[in-house]
Amino acid sequence: MSSTTNAKPKVLLKPLHPSIRREGLAAGESPTLPLPTVPIASAPWPKPFGSGLEYSPPARGPWTIVHIGMLLPEMHEIYVCAQACLRGVVLSAAEMNVQDRFSTITVTEEQFRDGRLEECMIEGTDHILRRLKRRPKAVLLTSSCIHHFTGADVEWAQHVLSERFPDIEFIDAYMTPTFRKSEMPPDNKMRLQLYRGLKPRARRQGGLLLAGTLERFGERSFFARAAKRAGIPFYELAGLERWSEYLEMGEADVAVTINPAARQAGKMLAERLGMRWLELPLSYDEAEIDRLSAELLRALGLDPDALQADVEAEKAEAREALRAAKRVLGERPVAICQSATTRPLGLAKRLLDAGIRVTDVFADMFLTGDRAAFDALRASHPELAVHPVTTPEMRFSPRRFPDGLVAIGQKAAWFTGAKHMVNLIEGGPYWGHGGVAGLARRLAAAAEHEADVASIIRIKGYGCLGGVCASEEGWI
């Protein structure tokens, strides 16, 4: 006769190394698991931590491919995938309240076995489109991993659909997370495909296109003001409501990308549509912002020297906004995460240079543009703590950080248990000296007011509630 026991196995825990003990952790006290936190002086470049099994913290602000696709006006998304994989995208659409612009086609085992994946895509899409109350101008038809593992002819399926529905622009899209580390990540691919509907034009009217961004930058951004000075239109996808407005973006002569995830989109606009592509990455360094701003102005036919007074005024505004944030924060700590900005180390350095006490950065790896800030911080602030985001041990992070800490980004807020948060993804609409000023003002405001962090970070897709993905929040 056998017996069973409910006794739990013992887990031997290592205490944190003294050099990386976090504030608020009592002497001699260990977290549930040893955390892989390292001071930046000891962090390898560009990946401070190993890769493997991953943990996804419940901070849902970064956009999914569903959210990104919804930027296209008068468009309908159709996902063709296995039922289990559809669960996440369906929830994204439901939370956005865009079920009227979203449909799914379930791929079954029988269709896979019998080689009918193309037929499933064609007839399922046909069934959906003939029953919609309003015919869309475009369809983002999203294939999945199973189509590409099996060599399904997705291109032929789209050709058949284009012949059946000649009044609809069919744009191929991809939900292929299994390829995200071996091929172009789905996020980058979706930003690229957003501009596939633009048509080559023998003669364009001209203009400046800000490509690959998720939030609306608006008329007060440096890009819009530069275009206005040059006497040309400013185009951006976020906020458009009509397909005709979308097609007008093809008139642009100059395309700008500021996020590395939009690099492929910029390259495509240059090669396919003949636009002049400028890669002007988000930066917080004054000298680099000056250089990038001048590059844009010259591309638009403007003389940077003639506009130097305006640039200096914006630079002075940014410095004063940082000083004001420092006065509000005092000695309170600040934590930054990789979901808030593409350059967390660059932002950390700019804040530290202004006297603001940045103590923690949450990032699995750093992008090339952050290398100069990485080297500088190793020398000036070697104790700056770097934490991973997706390493499994972070599931048991004790979240014991000082009261009053201000988090920049949702993942930083989650891991620190912060009650004060700047809700931000990908740097927001804060590019240039004016962007630094706007971000500093938001940091000061976050320090003065508590946020309902738990309610905020549970929502998928920052700024996308109610089907709206184009807020111009933050220019305060």
CA distances from 195 to 248, 268, 415 (A): 11, 9, 36
Please indicate, yes or no, whether residues 136 and 148 belong to a single structural domain of this protein: yes
Please indicate, yes or no, whether residues 185 and 96 belong to a single structural domain of this protein: yes
Please indicate, yes or no, whether residues 189 and 212 belong to a single structural domain of this protein: no
User: Where are the extended beta strands (E) located within 350-468?
Assistant: 358-362, 385-387, 406-408, 420-422
Identify whether 201 is part of a domain: no
Task: Say what the pLDDT of residue 327 is.
Answer: 98
Please indicate, yes or no, whether residues 294 and 314 belong to a single structural domain of this protein: no
Please indicate, yes or no, whether residues 212 and 285 belong to a single structural domain of this protein: yes
Helices (H), 174-307: 186-193, 222-230, 243-248, 263-273, 286-299
Question: Where does a domain end: 193, 218, 239?
Answer: 193
Identify the burial level of 75 via C-beta atoms within 10 angstroms of its C-beta, where 0-12 means exposed, 13-18 middle and 19 or more buried.
buried
Please indicate, yes or no, whether residues 115 and 184 belong to a single structural domain of this protein: yes
Task: Say what the pLDDT of residue 112 is.
Answer: 83
Identify whether 260 is part of a domain: yes
Cβ-proximal residues to 363 (8 Å cutoff; 6+ apart), any chain: 48, 337, 338, 344, 345, 386, 387, 388, 389
Phi, psi of 406 (to 5 degrees): -110, 125
Please indicate, yes or no, whether residues 339 and 438 belong to a single structural domain of this protein: yes
Identify whether 145 is part of a domain: yes
Identify whether 224 is part of a domain: yes
Please indicate, yes or no, whether residues 341 and 293 belong to a single structural domain of this protein: no
Domain that holds residue 279: 208-307
Q: What is the CATH number of the domain that holds 258?
A: 3.40.50.1980
Please indicate, yes or no, whether residues 461 and 317 belong to a single structural domain of this protein: yes
DSSP class of 111: H
Task: Say what the pLDDT of residue 184 is.
Answer: 87
Amino acid identity for residue 318 in this structure: A
Closest residue by Cα to residue 264 from 197, 189, 334: 189
Q: What is the CATH number of the domain that holds 406?
A: 3.40.50
Please indicate, yes or no, whether residues 438 and 316 belong to a single structural domain of this protein: yes
Please indicate, yes or no, whether residues 327 and 443 belong to a single structural domain of this protein: yes
Please indicate, yes or no, whether residues 394 and 283 belong to a single structural domain of this protein: no
The strands making up 385-387's β-sheet, listed across from edge to edge, are 38-39, 385-387, 358-362, 334-337, 406-408, 420-422
Identify whether 40 is part of a domain: no
Query: How confident is the prediction along the chain (476 residues), in pLDDT tens digits per residue?
Result: 333 344 443 333 333 344 344 455 555 554 456 678 999 999 999 999 988 899 999 998 999 999 999 999 999 999 999 888 898 899 899 989 999 999 999 998 888 888 899 999 999 999 999 999 999 999 999 999 888 888 889 999 999 999 999 999 999 999 887 776 667 888 999 999 999 999 988 778 899 999 999 999 999 999 999 999 999 999 999 999 999 999 999 999 999 999 999 999 999 999 999 999 999 999 999 999 999 999 999 999 999 999 999 999 999 999 999 999 999 999 999 999 999 999 999 999 999 999 999 999 999 999 999 999 999 999 999 999 999 999 999 998 888 899 999 999 999 999 999 999 999 999 999 999 999 999 999 999 999 999 999 999 998 898 886 554 544 443 32
CA distances from 65 to 95, 188, 389, 435 (A): 14, 9, 21, 26
Phi, psi of 270 (to 5 degrees): -70, -45
Task: Say what the pLDDT of residue 469 is.
Answer: 53
Separation CA 406–CA 446 (nearest Å): 7
Residue with tokens 């559809």: 86
Identify whether 55 is part of a domain: no
Question: Where does a domain end: 193, 216, 240?
Answer: 193
Identify whether 400 is part of a domain: yes
Is the pTM value of this prediction over 0.75? yes
- How many domains is the chain built from? 3
**Six token digits for residue 341:** 């900005």
Identify whether 251 is part of a domain: yes
Question: Where does a domain end: 307, 337, 364?
Answer: 307
